[in-house]
Structure 1
């Protein structure tokens, strides 16, 4: 799950000597509004189409514009989760990937990163999602898994975030391998756990749109 495994080779880097009209043509061809700018193997930042439109000179070189987000990159051996964090920080749909000598290797798109992240969290596996609220001091994944396993159900993955209803608590999202939650909910409540929400996964999910939708539901975004 390292960043270099998900480099999208269909997205070309721009050179400083490239014409901005060519940059727009590439953007239109690959259906993006941003491309990386690279000089002598070094990542300089991202060039957006709106910057080219504002300049309004199709014959100008890319080097006449100042690329943005020069720090929108990760090292090639970083986890795909780091790609998502950098993407969110810079609000960018692509993140550059560099080797440990700071040489440019390529970019990872958010579509590819989200797809990979969804796979790592077992989002595509049939089952259900259960969301609990608790104090951090009460959190024990081993104990929670033990309780759930008494109902012949396995925890496939878990995710912790802040409880939006109470800043002093955490929200624990669990992906389970069984679609039926009635008995599990009753058991968790009997042990004093507060259930915020739950989702039952649809069968036959395969499209990229459904994959991303499942991930966003899992993360409760």
Structure 2
């Protein structure tokens, strides 16, 4: 999966000959906090919302504002995780996407990125989530996987989070089954500390129940 495989927002650019007022209108239309500035399809840099708001005259052209050229963009052949890192680091809701020749391809929005990550990590699949706490030096994904497979389950997704204060890891695992009582018992027998677990099937059932309640209310 590459960023170029994600739907990108088009027609989101401005030119140096555009006015500041026009750029502000574009920002409001797209709900972005930055806009890419291009010459044809050549990427020149970007303008931030504060740059536009601080301008003395909104009828001046973009050329009167100093363009930012920091590498706050992603290449089309990068992984979506790279986009998450940049969006998080700079608190962005969208990122310019360039090809290998620095030609502008479109804007990657946080919404499209979240949709992509949810597919990559099987977040939309029915199953259950288990959170374990394991000593840093005791962590073995192969052992965990073997235990899960022995219960006729499969790992859909696995992530870890360091807990420095007690030299341990939180291991978040999503499996492809919702009824995991026997799996939780297996973890207990092997002395794994289960912090919590979630049944995503129940969440879907709750959502369906709320939808039916809404429909019943509308039909009253």
Q: 8 Å contact 2:10–2:106 — kept in the other structure?
A: no
Could you tell me the TM-score, scaled by structure 1's length? 0.82
Secondary structure of the structure 2 residue equivalent to 1:55: coil
1:136, 1:11 → 2: CA distance? Answer: 48
Could you tell me the TM-score, scaled by structure 2's length? 0.82
Aligned to 2:61: 61
2:165, 2:196 → 1: CA distance? Answer: 12
2:164, 2:68 → 1: CA distance? Answer: 33
Aligned to 2:185: 186
Aligned to 2:198: 199
Secondary structure of the structure 2 residue equivalent to 1:97: strand
Secondary structure of the structure 1 residue equivalent to 2:204: coil
Q: 8 Å contact 1:11–1:35 — kept in the other structure?
A: no
2:73, 2:90 → 1: CA distance? Answer: 10
Return the offset for 1:125: 0.3
- The structure-2 alpha-carbon separation of the partners of 1:128 and 1:56, relative to structure 1 and needing over 3 Å to count, comes to farther
2:192, 2:162 → 1: CA distance? Answer: 16
Q: 8 Å contact 1:148–1:155 — kept in the other structure?
A: yes
Return the offset for 1:180: 2.5
Secondary structure of the structure 1 residue equivalent to 2:60: coil
Aligned to 2:103: 103
Greater mean alpha carbon deviation, residues 153-162 or residues 30-39: 30-39
2:206, 2:86 → 1: CA distance? Answer: 28
Aligned-CA RMSD value: 2.3
Q: Structure 2 regions of 5+ residues with no counterpart?
A: 208-220
Residue-pair matches, total: 205
Q: 8 Å contact 1:127–1:176 — kept in the other structure?
A: yes
2:164, 2:135 → 1: CA distance? Answer: 13
- The structure-2 alpha-carbon separation of the partners of 1:204 and 1:164, relative to structure 1 and needing over 3 Å to count, comes to farther
Structure 2 counterparts to residues 141-160 of structure 1, below 5 A: 141-160=141-160
Please identify the structure whose Cα radius of gyration is greater: 2
Structure 2 counterparts to residues 118-197 of structure 1, below 5 A: 118-163=118-163, 166=166, 168-197=167-196
Return the offset for 1:30: 2.5
Q: CA offsets per residue over residues 82-111 of structure 1, 9 Å max, x none?
A: 111121122211122222222222221111
Aligned to 1:71: 71
Q: Structure 1 regions of 5+ residues with no counterpart?
A: 207-221
Q: 8 Å contact 2:10–2:107 — kept in the other structure?
A: no
Q: CA offsets per residue over residues 100-127 of structure 1, 9 Å max, x none?
A: 2222222211111111011100000011
Greater mean alpha carbon deviation, residues 114-123 or residues 25-34: 25-34
